[in-house]
Amino acid sequence: MPRRTRVRGKHRWQAASRSKRRGRHFPLRQRRLRLRASRFTTLGCKKKVFQPGVRIWSFSSHGRSHRPLGWTTDRVHHLLSDLEYHVFLILDWARDVVDIREQFPLPLQTTLAIARRSHLSHPWDRKRARYRPVTSDFLYTVRTRHRVEPHVRALKYEEALSEPTQLRSLEIERAYWHQRGIDWKLILHSQIPLAYVANIEWVHPYRRPLSLYPLAGVELDRIQRVLIPMLRRSHDRCCDVTDWCDARMRLPEGTALAMVRYLIANRLLLVDMHIRIIPTNPLIVLDDAQDDFLL
């Protein structure tokens, strides 16, 4: 049996575990390497999953935070406000968007150099007495016909533009992406199509068949063959059509309405997403798919 090495009266693994719990025992260089490694977590040996630079528990938020499971990335996203959540829904619905990364951290040394050249004060964390990293709200990738293009979007409420600190951070972020030739835009809350977002939010939890459990594949196909022709022909309220379908097929109450949300989420039932979907109103069914809205 190998001999255990003691470090100041403790086993080596015990000392390492104590140092791991107390971040101050690690030298600065090693802590930076750990911070850099935390941005990406390796799954298996091939796939890497992005980890945002700021998570919802990193600090207290003045608004509501969200942790939705993304369709595009198949991971949980950390969104710090309703505005971020609305933009995320727009990106997740778009068919040409192939990757979404929120709270993307910018290299601290690079943003410090940009601040010095531009004679701007870099964001500072007073509580921890150190520079605060600059993050981009969204870095997403769009697949075009010939290539894949990255885009960056900064999100702000209108009242935040009166704060000098916010403006300085935006200028540092803009200069960083401009140096790299990547499209960067500032999106305000007034530019968000609220009806479009509300429709996506209504169907977003029903993308996967598991959302309709315990219905299986054969039952889903049977309900779909009955429900879609009825919605196309009928001018009645959507809830009346789904109630009729539940009664005819002897389904639990609300199953057909959940099926409508599933069909819209998977684009098996094409509707006008720019008009608010209300179950007590007739459903506007389209023959051709609409173009996705992108900011």
Q: What is the pLDDT of residues 234-293, one digit of tens each?
A: 889 999 999 999 999 999 999 999 999 999 999 999 999 999 999 999 998 998 988 899
pLDDT at 203 over 50: yes
Strand ranges across the sheet with 148-156: 97-105, 135-143, 148-156, 183-188
Candidate from 32-41, 102-111, 184-193 with smallest mean pLDDT? 32-41
Number of other residues whose CB lies within 10 A of the CB of residue 99: 16
Residue 15 has pLDDT above 60, yes or no: no
Overall average pLDDT of the 29-54 stretch: 54
8: left (phi over 0), alpha (psi -120 to 50) or beta: left
Q: What percent of the chain has pLDDT over 70?
A: 82
Q: What percent of the chain has pLDDT over 90?
A: 64
DSSP letter for each residue of 17-44:
HHHHH-GGGS-HHHHHHHHHHTTEEEET
| 3-class state of residue 107 by DSSP | coil
Per-residue CA distances from 145 to 106, 142, 148, 149, 150 (Å): 29, 10, 8, 11, 14
Helix (H, G, I), strand (E, B) or coil at 244: helix
Residues 108, 159: Cα–Cα separation, whole Å: 27
pLDDT at 91: 97
pTM of the model: 0.81
Measuring CA to CA, which residue among 106, 152, 101, 162 is closest to residue 132?
106
What rounded mean pLDDT belongs to the chain? Answer: 84
Residue ranges and CATH numbers for the domains of the chain are 51-192 (3.40.1350.10), 193-295 (1.10.10.10)
Question: What are the angstrom distances between the C-alpha of 284 and each of 248, 269, 272, 279?
Answer: 23, 10, 6, 11
Tens digits of residue pLDDT in 45-85: 334 578 888 887 776 656 788 999 999 999 999 999 999 99
Nearest residue to 51 (alpha-carbon basis) of 29, 34, 26: 34
pLDDT reading at 87 higher than 80: yes
